[in-house]
A and B are shown apart, each in its own frame.
Chain A
Amino acid sequence: MFTRIFQQLFKNLFSNVATNPFPAVHMPPSLTDALSNPDAIKPPIPVGERFRGKLRYDRAKCIGCKLCMRVCPANATDFVPEEKKIIIHNDKCCFCAQCTEICPVKCLTMSGEFAMSSYDRKGNITKDSGAAVAGA
């Protein structure tokens, strides 16, 4: 029986692949090894201009006003009273960018970085990422 789907399937034979290819050319024997060698990995499609990824924090510019903590829905920022600066727990952050909006000196910005899962919670804390690079 020739139904409408066959027309579509036939059309699909001649159209491009819809998905982004698997990160590696062949299935590697060990995925962990393969992922630690960035050259072997096909690059992911770039993120959009407004993408909200991992926070960048320009520590030198921060004035310690704690406003970012007031609006953070995930309580992802902690204040270090001795230094009057904040630290950001990236594992808690939900990437709402609310803190970047309220910061009076704009020392918080969203980067395009998204691959940040790790087993190490303590290592996943941003203390300082330096001055923001334009276009990054």
Chain B
Amino acid sequence: MSTTYKVPIGPVHVGLKEPVTAWLTLDGERIMDAKLRLGAIHRGIEFMARERNPIQVIYLSERICGICSFSHVLAFIRAIEDLSAIKVPPRGQYIRSLVLELERIHSHILWSGVACYSIGFDSAFHLGMEMRERVMDLLELLTGNRVNYGVATFGGVRWDITPEFAKATRDMIKFYRREFTPFRDIVMEDPIAQARMRGVGVLTKEEAVRYSAVGPVARASGLRVDLRKSSPYEAYSDMPVEPVVPQDYFGAAHGDVLDRFAVRVLEVYQSLDLLEKILDGLPDGPFVAETNLNKVLASLKKAEGVGWGIIEAPRGDDTHIVSLKGGEDNVLWWKVRAPTYASAVSWPLMFRGNELADAPLIINSLDPCVSCMERTLTTNAHGDSNIITKQELIKRCREKTDTLRARGGETR
């Protein structure tokens, strides 16, 4: 008689922010094996983009993710700029970097709060949420809204930094340097929090390389990877960014949840330093290359080719590849590879040997953005999914067309 049980976590679960299902094979309380089942939140955004022009797709790309929305927008915009050779003035580049760093702070603080919630440390969760408000206020001051800022556009940004905003940012930097440290210490020095996070959800350095983990997950396993250093974009070419790895701070990288917590928390401080440098070095001049949107649309209509945009989002590398066709208004095709997708491959490894109660924490430790990740969905008429090859797909399409034709109906 088998002594293992299969238990699903999700798709709807109190510990999860987004729908994802983990089927866990349990021996008692220990997780022996894990299978991830995705596909609950696929939205077909790329398909929608094919009936929209690049300016419209900016706002569509913003809706891929609510938390790292600016990263997606920027990756998309950089892809279009790559193919159409639009130049961004230096001030525009600096403002973009500034919003990226603000977004990173907001995302990491939000995650740190939620991680505390996942281990049942609600006081720290509320503290984290309170901390986050300050950077949200700042984003609201610059862009008008708290999420989906709508601040980026082709060739620069839409709104400039005012002296008032610069002062508010410096105040915020001071505030976080003073107030964020207690939050960090409260969690990292707490013996219970340590016990819940140390040695849980381990991903070794070798595994992180083999399964191509990205962003804070890879860094927590000790890999020095950061696109802001290895392929600098926007203002990062003017300022060195050192990847935050736990071995530099604590002597060794364990690759567990506590290390992921530490990396994200330390990156908040790094972002504060970067913000200061961005404000100090903010060049004068225009912040957008072309303000006449009609001209932008006309030049994009002529553009043709494939463009790439890769940036370091709060969760890791975010890649967008876009193709435009000359003479066409709309985007020809668009491929998004969100960071969670790369890191999700290592999810099942992280579960091995852990306890069932830690499963939501392990899922959350990736800072998963499931709706970013779900870019394709395969399904059949019965609602379950199976994979078909391209040839098979074409064959089925033809068969379907033939049956429709035979019936004498419309082919669409």
Instruction: Provide a sorted-by-A list of 27 A–B residue pairs whose CB atoms are within 8 angstroms.
Output: A3-B189, A4-B182, A4-B186, A4-B189, A5-B190, A8-B182, A18-B130, A18-B133, A50-B143, A50-B144, A50-B159, A51-B144, A52-B144, A70-B297, A71-B55, A71-B56, A72-B56, A73-B59, A94-B59, A95-B150, A96-B58, A97-B150, A98-B56, A98-B293, A101-B158, A101-B293, A102-B294
CB B21 to nearest CB in A, in angstroms, measures 30
**Chain A residues with Cβ under 8 A from B191's Cβ?**
1, 3
CB B133 to nearest CB in A, in angstroms, measures 7
A interface secondary structure, majority: loop
Name A26-62 residues within 8 Å CB distance of B: 48-52
**Chain B residues with Cβ under 8 A from A73's Cβ?**
52, 55-60
Name A67-91 residues within 8 Å CB distance of B: 67, 70-74
**Chain A residues with Cβ under 8 A from B141's Cβ?**
48, 50
Indicate if A134 sits at the interface (CB-CB under 8 A). no
CA of A71 to CA of B54, assembled, Å: 9
CA of A96 to CA of B59, assembled, Å: 7
Closest to A104 in B: B294
CA of A50 to CA of B109, assembled, Å: 25
Indicate if B279 sits at the interface (CB-CB under 8 A). no
Indicate if B328 sits at the interface (CB-CB under 8 A). no
CA of A97 to CA of B62, assembled, Å: 14
CB B159 to nearest CB in A, in angstroms, measures 7
Indicate if A136 sits at the interface (CB-CB under 8 A). no
CB contacts between A and B, total, < 8 Å: 76
Q: Is the CB of A48 within 8 A of B140?
A: yes
**Chain A residues with Cβ under 8 A from B84's Cβ?**
none
CA of A110 to CA of B185, assembled, Å: 43
Name B65-100 residues within 8 Å CB distance of A: none
CB B300 to nearest CB in A, in angstroms, measures 12
Indicate if A133 sits at the interface (CB-CB under 8 A). no
Indicate if B26 sits at the interface (CB-CB under 8 A). no
Indicate if A9 sits at the interface (CB-CB under 8 A). yes
Indicate if B118 sits at the interface (CB-CB under 8 A). no
**Chain A residues with Cβ under 8 A from B359's Cβ?**
none
Given A18-B133, A71-B55, residue A4 in contact with residue B190 (CB < 8 A): yes
**Chain A residues with Cβ under 8 A from B133's Cβ?**
18
CA of A85 to CA of B124, assembled, Å: 53
CA of A110 to CA of B145, assembled, Å: 12
Indicate if B127 sits at the interface (CB-CB under 8 A). yes
**Chain B residues with Cβ under 8 A from A1's Cβ?**
191
Indicate if B107 sits at the interface (CB-CB under 8 A). no
Most chain A beta carbons < 10 A, residue from B60, B123, B191, B293: B293
Indicate if B148 sits at the interface (CB-CB under 8 A). yes
**Chain A residues with Cβ under 8 A from B53's Cβ?**
70-71
Indicate if B142 sits at the interface (CB-CB under 8 A). yes
CB A116 to nearest CB in B, in angstroms, measures 15
CA of A13 to CA of B57, assembled, Å: 48
Given pairs A52-B144, A95-B148, A96-B59, 9 additional interface contacts (CB within 8 A): A4-B185, A8-B182, A50-B143, A52-B145, A73-B56, A73-B58, A73-B59, A73-B60, A74-B59
CB A135 to nearest CB in B, in angstroms, measures 16
Q: Is the CB of B52 within 8 A of A9?
A: no
Q: Is the CB of A52 within 8 A of B142?
A: no
**Chain B residues with Cβ under 8 A from A98's Cβ?**
55-56, 59, 150, 293
CB A45 to nearest CB in B, in angstroms, measures 10
Q: Is the CB of B123 within 8 A of A9?
A: yes
CA of A18 to CA of B143, assembled, Å: 23
Closest to B164 in A: A49
Which 10 pairs show the lowest CB-CB distances between chains A and B?
A: A50-B144, A73-B59, A73-B56, A102-B293, A96-B59, A4-B186, A51-B144, A96-B150, A52-B144, A18-B130
Closest to B184 in A: A4
Q: Is the CB of B190 within 8 A of A51?
A: no
**Chain B residues with Cβ under 8 A from A96's Cβ?**
58-59, 148, 150
Closest to A5 in B: B186
